[in-house]
């Protein structure tokens, strides 16, 4: 697979070739063509679908838009979505930090298996993620009879929605933190330990400042998925209006009732959430790279 | 990079477990993982084991289910191939060229990750319906996208795009321009350099992105069900079939189909892991 050319890397001195641009770039028309194709594809598959959400939402004017958002069922869907995310995100945040601490700071048997299992929810279809909770807590499920006896409702109620959301957002924080903490090693923590710091103190004052951007990145992605999850939540929700409908489910119900303007109005809130997610994500990436660049120049000088 | 990793390994294995919190962190991790992921997933396996083989086989090989497999796998394959081509162009353009709006385009690539699938689904349906912006342009040529298998593929292209671009971008950024210069010095045309120097280096990453997009498409539900039309035998995807069985309280049937899809997902996961190992080894071979 290695191309049959001499390895220039062996030469410690790197020459900046004077005519490099001509030799290692494409003719102007090829560049223009590729950029045009890329932009056209992005326009067709990214920008236009996004634009259609807002134009459809405002098709009947601002007053209809606002009416659709302050509607009783819509407001209860917004509340449920915020509440679900407020439980699922912190739960997976704590898990993500604990898992990456154990995996990156210590050696133990079965680490690779654990890594694979953490990623597992990503490769399970959302519908199956909902189905497994139906099998556990449904009327004929493992805990169904016991739950019925004690009059505890998990399926077709808020606990089921939260559980399904926790499942689908399970890996987000851990998979951001693990590679980051792996690359940082354990030297700084060990230095703090030698200087007499306690475990919590090491975490708060040494580890956390090092991982804060990665942590925030994971939380942003986790939150976006938690608020937007459709398939898994749809299976366990039972679609009770005003009670077990999250925002994406409310969008579906309104759409299936041919109430398109209202469906797109609620959808536009989720689209704004997506845009805010992208903006925050870009900001975090920019800060993280700016800080690591500053660190590098500090080290080399 | 490699020396840093090996020094990390030697330091941790020589002085293992000097840092506090190992038992607490690992104990919590394993407990949480077992409760949230392993216990529910094992319910799926045990439910399948209660079925007789004949019942299982009849469910997963009925004509309607077979038609759904064909659609899901076929549309996922087509969408992943479209993404492999255009995702490569996008990644290339984003890494190698400068043009106005580049930063914005780069941020926008992740839209399919960030936009809830239901929103993507109704937006694409509105767009490709016969009276939509794009649907009305195609209608005179008698091309129907919404409510046909073609619509399923369109939704899956949307969902899979970031996987290819985001897998290729870092590999293109790290690829060594010196190799291209050397190829040019040795008299290769730019096209030859691309096909024989650049393409082999990005091929493992391209295949990984392709596999990731394909795997995600297999299970995709929210963005597809609105645009598919969901006609049995024609435009019904496998995840929808699972939901339909559940709504008919046919838990065993839903579970049987889910197990087949889960097996497909795990096969993809294994493939992706092998591909990623290949990407890593590939990079290592070239840096040493």
Say if the Cβ atoms of B37 and A227 lie within 8 Å. Answer: no
Contact state of A123 with B269 under an 8 Å Cβ cutoff: yes
- Please name the helix (run of DSSP H) or strand (run of DSSP E) that holds residue B189, with its range, or none: none
Contacts of B208 (CB under 8 A, 6+ apart): B167, B272, B275, B276, B279
The pLDDT, as a whole number, for residue B1 is 40
Separation CA A236–CA A28 (nearest Å): 55
Sign of the torsion formed by the C-alpha atoms of A29, A34, A37 and A39:
negative
Question: What residues of chain A lie within 8 A of the CB of B273, using their CB?
Answer: 116
Residue of A nearest to B229 (CA): A256
Cα–Cα dist A90/B219, whole Å: 26
Closest-CA distance, A240 to chain B, in angstroms, reads 15
Q: What is d(CA A293, CA B173) in angstroms, rounded to the nearest whole number?
A: 17
Go through chain A and tell me how many residues it has: 301
| Residues of chain B with C-beta less than 8 angstroms from the C-beta of A249 | 118
Contact (CB, 8 A) for B225 and B159: no
Average confidence (pLDDT) per 10 residues, chain A, 301 residues: 48 52 76 95 96 94 93 94 97 96 92 90 93 90 87 90 96 94 90 90 92 94 96 90 90 94 96 96 91 76 51
CA distance B177 to chain A (A): 7
Residue of A nearest to B217 (CA): A125
Q: Is the pLDDT of residue B152 over 60?
A: yes
Best mutation target, B72, B119, B125, B178, to test chain A (most A CBs within 10 A): B119
Where is A169: in which H helix or E strand?
A: none
pLDDT digits (tens, 9 = 90+) for B51-95: 899 999 999 999 999 999 999 999 999 999 999 999 999 999 999
Q: What SS3 state is found at A245?
A: coil
Q: How many CB atoms lie within 10 A of CB A241?
A: 13
pLDDT in the model for residue A14: 54
Contact flag B11-A185 (C-beta cutoff 8 Å): yes
- Give the residue among B147, B165, B160 at the shortest CA–CA distance from B105: B165
Angle formed by the axes of helices B251-287 and A126-137, nearest 10°: 130
Question: Would you state the pLDDT for residue B14?
Answer: 42
Q: For residue B113, which residues of chain A lie inside 8 Å, CB to CB?
A: 221, 224
* Predicted TM-score (pTM) of this structure: 0.88
Proportion of chain B above pLDDT 70, given as a percent: 92
Q: Angle CA(B122)–CA(B123)–CA(B124) in degrees, nearest 5?
A: 95
**pLDDT category, B3, cuts 50, 70, 90?**
very low
Q: Do A3 and B197 touch (CB under 8 A)?
A: yes
A117: CB partners within 8 A, 6+ apart: B33, B37, B38
């Amino acid at each position: 697979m290695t191309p049959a050319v001499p390895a220039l890397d062996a030469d410690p001195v790197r020459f900046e070739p004077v005519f490099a641009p001509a030799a290692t770039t494409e003719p102007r028309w090829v560049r223009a063509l590729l950029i045009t194709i890329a932009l056209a594809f992005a326009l067709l598959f990214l920008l236009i679908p996004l634009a259609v959400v807002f134009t459809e939402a405002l098709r009947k004017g601002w007053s209809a838009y606002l009416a659709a958002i302050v509607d009783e069922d819509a407001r209860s869907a917004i509340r449920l979505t915020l509440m679900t995310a407020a439980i699922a995100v912190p739960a997976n945040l704590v898990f993500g930090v604990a898992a990456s601490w154990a995996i990156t700071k210590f050696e133990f048997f079965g680490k690779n298996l654990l890594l694979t299992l953490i990623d597992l929810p990503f490769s399970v279809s959302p519908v199956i993620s909902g189905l497994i909770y139906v099998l556990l807590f449904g009327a004929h499920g493992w805990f169904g009879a016991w739950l019925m006896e004690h009059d505890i409702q998990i399926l077709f109620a808020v606990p089921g929605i939260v559980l399904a959301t926790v499942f689908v957002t399970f890996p987000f924080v851990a998979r951001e933190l693990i590679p980051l903490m792996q690359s940082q090693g354990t030297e700084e923590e060990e230095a703090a330990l030698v200087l007499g710091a306690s475990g919590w103190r090491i975490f708060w004052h040494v580890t956390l400042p090092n991982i804060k951007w990665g942590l925030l990145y994971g939380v942003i992605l986790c939150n976006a998925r938690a608020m937007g999850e459709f398939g898994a939540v749809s299976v366990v929700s039972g679609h009770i209006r005003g009670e077990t409908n999250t925002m994406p489910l409310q969008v579906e119900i309104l759409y299936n009732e041919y109430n398109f303007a209202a469906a797109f109005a609620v959808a536009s809130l989720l689209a704004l959430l997506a845009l805010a997610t992208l903006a925050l994500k870009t900001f975090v990436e920019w800060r993280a790279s700016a800080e690591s660049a500053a660190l590098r120049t500090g080290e080399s000088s | 990079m490699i020396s840093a990793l090996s020094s990390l390994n030697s330091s941790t294995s020589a002085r293992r477990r000097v840092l506090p919190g190992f038992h607490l962190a690992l104990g919590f991790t394993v407990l949480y993982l077992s409760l949230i992921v392993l216990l529910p997933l094992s319910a799926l396996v045990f439910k399948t084991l209660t079925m007789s083989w004949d019942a299982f086989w009849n469910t997963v090989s009925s004509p309607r289910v077979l038609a759904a497999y064909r659609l899901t796998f076929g549309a996922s394959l087509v969408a992943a191939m479209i993404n492999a081509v255009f995702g490569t162009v996008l990644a290339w353009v984003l890494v190698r060229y400068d043009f106005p709006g580049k930063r914005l385009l780069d941020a926008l690539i992740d839209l399919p990750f960030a936009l809830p699938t239901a929103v993507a689904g109704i937006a694409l349906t509105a767009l490709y319906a016969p009276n939509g912006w794009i649907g009305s342009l195609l209608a005179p040529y008698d091309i129907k996208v919404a409510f046909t298998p073609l619509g399923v593929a369109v939704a899956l292209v949307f969902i899979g795009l970031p996987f290819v671009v985001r897998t290729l971008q870092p590999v293109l950024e790290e690829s060594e321009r010196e190799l291209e210069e050397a190829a040019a010095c040795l008299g290769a045309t730019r096209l030859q350099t691309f096909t024989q120097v650049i393409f082999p280096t990005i091929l493992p990453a391209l295949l990984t992105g392709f596999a990731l997009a394909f795997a995600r498409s297999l299970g995709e539900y929210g963005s597809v069900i609105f645009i598919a039309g969901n006609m049995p035998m024609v435009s019904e995807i496998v995840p929808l079939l699972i939901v339909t069985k559940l709504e008919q309280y046919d838990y065993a049937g839903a579970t049987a189909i889910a197990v087949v899809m889960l097996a497909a997902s795990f096969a993809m996961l294994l493939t992706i892991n092998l591909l990623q190992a290949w990407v890593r080894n590939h990079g290592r071979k070239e840096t040493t």
